[in-house]
Amino acid sequence: MQHRLYGLRGQEYVRKLKRIYQEEQELFRQKFLEIKEQNGGKFSAKNLGEMCNHFQLPVTVMDAYLSDLGLLPSGTWDRLRDRGAKARDIGVIWN
């Protein structure tokens, strides 16, 4: 499964990105809180990958959405990537 923004460029990418966020921001919040509750109040990098797979979105996009919702600190994915993490390392798989 490819992510929902795959192959889009320019304004088409931006329009789709905004539409997904507006339509699904409450679903992002619910899924985040559900995962956090299942893990004893913690949310790990692997959980971020789980959310990316669930919503079929790239890690950078999911990180930005969760940061905008106040659920993750801004730049979480950037810090993980700076330490050598790759999307594959946190379980993100695109077929």
- Flag whether pLDDT at 4 surpasses 60: yes
Reported as a single tens digit per residue, the pLDDT across 64-88 is 999 999 999 999 999 999 999 999 9
- Flag whether pLDDT at 17 surpasses 80: yes
Write out the two tokens for 76. Answer: 């979480």
Q: What does the pLDDT read at residue 73?
A: 96
Q: Which among 22, 39, 78 has a CA at the least distance from the CA of 31?
A: 39
Query: What's the mean pLDDT when you consider all of the chain?
Result: 94
Please give the average per-residue pLDDT across 45-71, as a whole number: 96
- Flag whether pLDDT at 94 surpasses 90: no
The percent of residues above 90 in pLDDT, for the chain, comes to 96
Q: Which among 16, 49, 19, 56 has a CA at the least distance from the CA of 32?
A: 49
Yes or no: say if 28 and 54 are a contact pair by the CB < 8 Å rule. Answer: no
